[in-house]
């Protein structure tokens, strides 16, 4: 079910960590699963990944802070060394950041820029750095192999809160919403270019999920959300490339 190589950003907790757990538990686990984490090795927030790593030789941990160009560059070099000529089949841009705002008085340029950096700029810079590896995987696939995650794909974890159509006064989170709207546009725009290189893309909303970001009030467990998102990823093809959908497959308004 899973392709040979997968890289997930922000994989040390929440939805990203659950993706790692489910991939490793699968009988069709990736031969090379790269889980990236912002904090240094040995730090408290990487404990769960390091415990998984001690039991799974196909799991590789790479430090990556998506707001640091230097960190992205050095992570790309490590990943290139791990994957070599086979390239990268699937990039999951999962890392994200959200603070709650309730009124214009709370918004600052620093908080706006921080949200845009983690949620929109970072994912595109990571994609830019890893694009040569995705291209390698697309070229390595036989000319008859179908477009999809088995060949070469990028999935951006999006949010329904990034939809302009769904803007509402009840749920402000203005900086987060605007940054996820920017991710939608960037993801869609670069998606056209990726498709020409044989790489499909998807903007995928996980639902409202019980994580540090989603809070305990969320109705969905990470386990249920991730299992459904993996089904959606498996269905990704040329026709669905560049769309914005939720974990059930419902097409969301931009």
Q: Please give the residue ranges that form the binding site for ligand NAP (CB under 6 A).
A: 9-10, 12-16, 38-39, 45, 64-67, 94-97, 118, 157, 159, 205-206, 208-209, 211-214, 218
Name which of 10 and 191 has its Cβ closer to ligand NAP: 10
Number of H helices, E strands in the chain: 7, 7
Pick the closer one to ligand NAP by CB: 38 or 60: 38
Beta bridge partners of 59: 33
Q: Would you report the helix, strand and coil content of the chain in percent, each value rounded to 5?
A: 45, 15, 40
Instruction: Write down the least CB distance from residue 1 to ligand NAP, Å.
Output: 21
Q: How far is residue 241's CA from residue 156's CA, in Å, rounded to a whole number?
A: 12
Nearer to ligand NAP, 52 or 66 (CB): 66
- Written as six digits, the tokens of 46 are 């990487």
Dist. CA 222–CA 18, nearest whole Å: 6
Quote the least distance from Cβ 46 to ligand NAP, whole Å.
Answer: 8
Smallest distance from the beta carbon of 26 to ligand NAP, in angstroms?
Answer: 20
Instruction: Choose between 51 and 146: whose C-beta lies nearer to ligand NAP.
Output: 51
- Of 31 and 251, nearer to ligand NAP (C-beta) is 251
Could you give the 3-state DSSP secondary structure of residue 25?
helix
The CB-of-143 to ligand NAP minimum distance in angstroms stands at: 34
Minimum distance from residue 131 beta carbon to ligand NAP (Å):
18
Nearest Cα to 227, choosing from 58, 13, 26, 7? 26
Which pair of structure tokens corresponds to residue 18?
A: 């659950």
């Amino acid at each position: 079910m899973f392709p040979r190589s997968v890289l997930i950003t922000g994989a040390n907790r929440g939805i990203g960590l659950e993706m790692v757990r489910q991939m490793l538990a699968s009988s069709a686990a990736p031969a090379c699963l790269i889980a990236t984490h912002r904090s240094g090795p040995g730090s408290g927030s990487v404990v769960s990944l390091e415990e998984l790593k001690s039991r799974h030789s196909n799991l590789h941990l790479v430090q990556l802070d998506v707001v640091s160009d230097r960190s992205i560059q050095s992570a790309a070099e490590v990943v290139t060394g791990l994957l070599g000529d086979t390239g990268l089949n699937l990039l999951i841009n999962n890392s994200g950041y959200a603070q709650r705002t309730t009124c214009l008085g709370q918004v600052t340029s620093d908080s706006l820029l921080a949200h845009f950096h983690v949620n929109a700029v970072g994912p595109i810079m990571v994609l830019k750095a890893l694009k040569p590896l995705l291209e390698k995987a697309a070229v390595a696939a036989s000319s008859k192999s179908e477009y999809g995650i088995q060949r070469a794909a990028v999935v951006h974890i999006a949010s329904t809160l990034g939809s302009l159509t769904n803007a509402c006064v009840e749920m402000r989170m203005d900086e987060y919403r605007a940054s996820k709207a920017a991710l939608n546009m960037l993801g869609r725009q670069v998606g056209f270019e990726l498709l020409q290189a044989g790489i499909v893309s998807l903007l995928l909303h996980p639902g409202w999920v019980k994580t540090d970001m989603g809070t305990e009030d969320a109705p969905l467990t990470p386990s249920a959300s991730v299992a459904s998102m993996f089904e959606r990823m498996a269905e990704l093809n040329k026709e669905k490339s560049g769309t914005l959908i939720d974990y059930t497959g419902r097409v969301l308004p931009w």
